[in-house]
Amino acid sequence: MEHENQGAVNSTNKVWFITGASRGFGRIWATAALERGDKVAVTARNLASVADLQEKYADNILTLELDVTKLDQVEKAVKQAHQHFGRLDIVFNNAGYSLVGTIEEAAIDEVKAMYDTNVYGPVAVIQAALPILRKQGYGHILGTSSNLGHVVLPVIGYYCSSKWAFEAIHESLAAEVKPFGIKVTIVEPGAYATEFGSQESLKFAAGMVEYTDFKENFFEGLRNLERGNPNATTEAIFKIVDSENPPLRFFLGSHNLPWVRTAYAERLASWEEWAPISNAAQG
């Protein structure tokens, strides 16, 4: 297979393609990459939201309108970024939002719409980028998941499910593209003080009176949750993208590992308890 200059993958100045860069982690990471001299294709559904970045980093930035649920926009944006910068070192799927509502409350169309953004959109970006990365012979695909890709909370169960799907897709992808020299990392933030909890990043299902008290208690618990500083995450992201052997999964924050460790211990204990019956069912 003919590959382009493989030395580019180790260059100091990397070329990024980032979705959902208008606010939150996407904007923070895009800005940090630009500040260190990298080149970034910054995508957002509304270009006005990233106009200030265009003005400040004109030489190193390409701003592109992109709604990841629109396949024609995805293909066009990825191609434009590659043509503009000549290569793509990092493809970072960051766009996403949460649907708030119990399993019974949320309408099927609302669940499908969230999956369009959180699951199918990232898949479209990956599929558009892979021919480019394969030809290069290198590249690093990253995706913003969540600690909720391993554990689940009520009321946002559909959001959690989208991250479980996101995790499975990326783990399979990592095995499939490793022979082409392409790396994959799932970034799993815990609770951070970003705009992810804003009205722009949340959609609410119509409520049912039967769940009013339950949800009020749930939201009260969230309000008391300690949140990390999103600006403290940039060095961790740089260490990942600069690593020769980045992890498949990476927790952002100090609360994730204890929570997931406890959840998995409980799962293992339950499986062990029921193991004799499970084994008997083998036949």
Averaged pLDDT in 10-residue chunks for the chain of 283 residues: 42 89 94 97 95 93 97 97 98 95 98 98 98 98 96 96 98 98 96 64 91 94 84 96 97 94 98 98 96
In a domain, 5, yes or no: no
| Catalytic-residue membership of 163 | yes
pLDDT of residue 200: 58
Count how many domains the chain has.
2
* CATH number reported for the structural domain that contains residue 18 in this entry: 3.40.50.720
Half-sphere exposure of 264 (CA within 13 A, CB side): 10
* CA-derived radius of gyration, the chain: 20
Q: What is the largest CA-CA distance in the chain?
A: 68
In a domain, 4, yes or no: no
In a domain, 198, yes or no: yes
- Domain boundaries, position 151: 11-252
pLDDT of residue 227: 85
Same domain, 18 and 71: yes
Residues 6+ apart with CB under 8 A from 128: 74, 75, 78, 79
pLDDT of residue 4: 44
| Catalytic-residue membership of 243 | no
Same domain, 262 and 138: no
| Catalytic-residue membership of 278 | no
- How far is 116 from 196, CA to CA, in rounded Å? 18
pLDDT of residue 10: 46
Sheet bearing 249-252, strands edge to edge: 61-65, 39-44, 15-18, 90-93, 139-144, 182-189, 249-252
Element (H, E) at 188: strand 182-189
Same domain, 66 and 156: yes
pLDDT of residue 191: 86
- The amino acid at residue 230 is P
In a domain, 132, yes or no: yes
Same domain, 264 and 154: no
* Contact assessment for residue 66 and residue 45, using Cβ atoms and an 8 Å cutoff: yes
* Contact assessment for residue 177 and residue 77, using Cβ atoms and an 8 Å cutoff: no
Same domain, 200 and 261: no
Residue 252's CB is within 10 A of a number of other CB atoms, namely 22
Same domain, 268 and 228: no
Cα–Cα separations (whole angstroms), residue 159 to 56, 99, 151: 35, 6, 11
In a domain, 3, yes or no: no
pLDDT of residue 201: 67
- The amino acid at residue 224 is N
* Contact assessment for residue 21 and residue 62, using Cβ atoms and an 8 Å cutoff: no
Catalytic residue among 14, 115, 138, 145: 145
Element (H, E) at 183: strand 182-189
